[in-house]
């Protein structure tokens, strides 16, 4: 299991394979977990989810961008998404990654890109979630959020439970709308729990803390044990339904997504789209090699 995880994480970071994947389109199983390559296809997927009572957070796929031109193009595309959300009046908001907007190129350049997006979204009252990436980008991403939230309140972020510092961060950001996750990147034992059980325990601790003390909690997991625990916890503590939501990734545990929405819980699906699907998809395989089944299904459904 550990080896498979390392292998897929290694593949997710391979630049040659990444650019090859862009050229060859949505191949293998990626099609079942990526909602199309353009805004039109993505909006159709969002509408289909909205009809089932599911709200969406839209991710224009892309990360670890090292060219200004590419980062600017990504910003323009996210602005297109904001316009499309408004034009089609779909129930959706934005998720984005700072490294797609140039965090590795220049902090100020990235800040300006992010500000343009948050400002445009703010005009339509659309929320923007800053996804959290690997540890090297964690503090600069929090710095971007701190600076932006002086002027805007339609912004929130993610706390990754595998980090030792997560408890401090959740305390500091408790007045933000937060997505809580276990954490998807390979991190060193100096900064992050490695043991799955310890990560799960910390995840539950953070969820309970933010549900009791925080603003709005997005519980982002496919783990039925944690979902069941949360259901019982909110019942026992009289936490109102409008204080939290469950989130899952597009294409994963689809029946459970619909079921949770039917049970009356707020549910939000993370909807990635675009041609830069490779790193995203490989991380999903690293998390759960059984996701390779999605590849199998896709191949046989052709």
Q: Give the residue ranges of the annotated binding site for FAD.
A: 132, 160, 182-184, 196, 221-222
User: 171-200: which residues touch ligand FAD (CB under 6 A)?
Assistant: 179, 181-185
Nearer Cβ to ligand FAD (69/211): 211
Extract the annotated binding site: 97, 132, 160, 182-184, 196, 221-222, 283-284
Q: Are 270 and 80 in contact (CB under 8 A)?
A: no
Q: Smallest distance, Å, CB 69 to ligand FAD?
A: 25
User: 202-231: which residues touch ligand FAD (CB under 6 A)?
Assistant: 220-223
Confirm whether 276 is a catalytic residue: no
Q: Can you give the three-state secondary structure of 133-192, one letter per residue?
A: CCHHHHHHHHHHHHHHCCCCCCEEEEEECCECCHHHHHHHCCCCCEEEECCCCCCCCCCE
Sequence length of the chain is 302
Only one of the segments 2-10, 42-50, 166-174, 244-252 lies at the binding site for ligand FAD (rule: CB under 6 A); that segment is 244-252
Taking CA atoms, 167 is separated from 3, 109, 192, 293, in Å, by: 29, 30, 12, 35
Q: 216: left (phi > 0), else alpha (psi -120 to 50), else beta?
A: beta
Total binding residues toward ligand FAD, as defined by CB under 6 A: 22
- Provide the b/e sequence for 145-167 (b: ≥16 CB within 10 Å): beebbeeeebbbbbbbbbbeebe
Considering only 22, 27, 86, 288, the residue that binds ligand FAD (CB under 6 A) is: 288
Paired residues of 217 in beta bridges: 178, 244
Q: Is 252 in the site for ligand FAD (CB under 6 A)?
A: yes
Extract the annotated binding site for substrate: 97, 283-284
Residue bearing tokens 């805004």: 39
Q: Smallest distance, Å, CB 187 to ligand FAD?
A: 9
Confirm whether 131 is a catalytic residue: yes
Q: Is 132 in the site for ligand FAD (CB under 6 A)?
A: yes
Nearer Cβ to ligand FAD (64/270): 270
Considering only 104, 166, 287, 295, the residue that binds ligand FAD (CB under 6 A) is: 287
- Provide the b/e sequence for 104-117 (b: ≥16 CB within 10 Å): bbeeeebbebbbbb
Distance (Å, rounded) from C-alpha 173 to C-alpha 156? Answer: 9
| Pattern 111-130, ligand FAD, x by CB under 6 A | --------------------
Q: Smallest distance, Å, CB 146 to ligand FAD?
A: 18
Q: 92: left (phi > 0), else alpha (psi -120 to 50), else beta?
A: beta
Q: Is 131 in the site for ligand FAD (CB under 6 A)?
A: yes
Q: Is 167 in the site for ligand FAD (CB under 6 A)?
A: no
**CA angle in degrees (0–180, nearest 5) for 173-62-281:** 95
| Residue of 59, 104, 177, 179 marked catalytic | 179
Nearer Cβ to ligand FAD (2/24): 2
Residue bearing tokens 């690293």: 286
Taking alpha carbons only, the member of 240, 244, 195 closest to residue 221 is 244
Instruction: Cite the active site residues.
Output: 131, 179
Binding residues for ligand FAD, rule: CB under 6 A, are 131-132, 158, 160, 179, 181-185, 220-223, 247-249, 252-253, 270, 287-288
């Amino acid at each position: 299991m550990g080896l498979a995880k390392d292998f897929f994480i290694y593949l997710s970071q391979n630049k040659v394979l990444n650019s090859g994947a862009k050229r060859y389109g949505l191949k293998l199983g990626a099609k079942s977990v990526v909602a199309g390559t353009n805004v039109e296809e993505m909006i159709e997927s969002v509408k289909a989810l909205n009809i089932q009572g599911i709200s969406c957070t839209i991710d224009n796929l892309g990360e670890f961008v090292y060219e200004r031109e590419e980062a600017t193009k990504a910003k323009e595309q996210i602005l297109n998404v904001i316009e499309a959300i408004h034009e089609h009046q779909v129930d959706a908001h934005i998720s984005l990654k700072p490294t797609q907007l140039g965090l590795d190129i220049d902090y100020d350049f990235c800040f300006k890109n992010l500000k343009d997006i948050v400002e445009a979204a703010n005009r339509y009252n659309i929320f923007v979630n800053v996804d959290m990436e690997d540890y090297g980008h964690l503090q600069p991403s929090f710095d971007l959020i701190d600076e932006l939230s002086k002027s805007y309140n339609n912004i929130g972020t993610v706390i990754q439970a595998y980090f030792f510092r997560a408890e401090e961060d959740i305390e500091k950001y408790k007045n933000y709308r937060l997505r809580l996750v276990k954490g998807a990147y390979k991190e060193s034992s100096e900064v992050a729990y490695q043991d799955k059980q310890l990560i799960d325990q910390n995840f539950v601790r953070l969820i309970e803390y933010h549900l009791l003390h925080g603003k709005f909690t997005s519980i982002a997991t496919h783990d039925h044990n944690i979902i069941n625990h949360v259901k019982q916890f909110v019942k026992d503590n009289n936490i109102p339904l409008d204080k939290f939501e469950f989130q899952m990734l597009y294409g994963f545990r689809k029946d459970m997504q619909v079921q949770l929405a039917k049970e009356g819980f707020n549910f939000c699906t993370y909807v990635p789209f675009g041609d830069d699907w490779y790193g995203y998809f490989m991380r999903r395989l690293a998390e759960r090699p059984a996701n390779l089944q999605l590849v199998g299904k896709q191949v046989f459904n052709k």
